[in-house]
Amino acid sequence: MTGTRIVSLVPSLTEAVAVGAPGALVAATEWCSHPVDLEVARIGGTKNPDVRRIIGLAPDLVIANEEENRAPDLAALRAAGIEVLVTEVRDLPGALRELTRVLAACGAGRPGWLDEAEEAWSQLAVPEARLKAVVPIWRRPWMVLGRDTFAGDLLRRLGVDNAYATHAERYPRVPLEELREAAADLVILPDEPYRFTREDGPEAFPVPAALVSGRHLTWYGPSLAEAPAVLSGALRAAFRS
């Protein structure tokens, strides 16, 4: 599919396509921060893309995600005759399958980083002693990881059980008082979508806080190859500070 024009509405898939199929991307969202030197048209956010501008770019394919993007926007693109590939990711195996599907649709072969990611996670030595964690993703109001999330599956593989893994919702709003009483061993604070920092987040909890890279916890792309080491390091650091 030489010359295929791709628009990505998903930051992690933007990075995957930019690295795996160089030159194919013609546009991406404002939230697509990797690769850091990516120079393509910007077409709004994941929740509010400029549909008219995307149509004007005449892409061969738009890559989206059922969780990150809105169904009405995708329907409008399809109504304009544009092919839309929608990914669905709930765990690591699903992410690896979807990455393979996306790259194939972009005319790319299987990249080396995808093999490295599979190997890194398959060879992971999970600690015998498991930890229980609360994993906020937003503040004001507090929202946390709930059931069936990709990030929750990565943490599980690292020996960390999500305190809200059996919640009825995938990203429930939970009062801070309840979070503080969840009998967790630690709180895990990513730097996206809410940017938790040492000065904003840890002070709310009575347990150690692990500040982690949101790209390594929630993105499925080239970062998956180094994610086990990066996340494990952040978890260890929480108990040294």
Buried b (16+ CB within 10 A) or exposed e, 79-99: eeebebbbbebebbeebbebb
Superfamily assignment of 6-110 in CATH? Nitrogenase molybdenum iron protein domain (3.40.50.1980)
State the average pLDDT for the chain: 95
Question: DSSP character for 200?
Answer: B
- Count of residues in the chain: 241
Instruction: Write down the pLDDT at residue 198.
Output: 96
Taking the chain (241 residues) in runs of 10, the rounded mean pLDDT of each run is 82 95 95 94 96 97 96 98 97 96 92 95 86 97 97 96 97 97 96 96 97 96 96 92 63
Instruction: Write down the pLDDT at residue 241.
Output: 63
**CB 8, CB 63: distance < 8 Å:** yes
Q: Is the fold of 6-110 the same as that of 126-238? A: yes
Domain 126-238: CATH architecture, name and number where available: 3-Layer(aba) Sandwich (3.40)
Instruction: Write down the pLDDT at residue 2.
Output: 45
Domain boundaries, the chain: 6-110, 126-238
Nearest C-alpha neighbor of 46 from the set 77, 8, 17, 18: 8
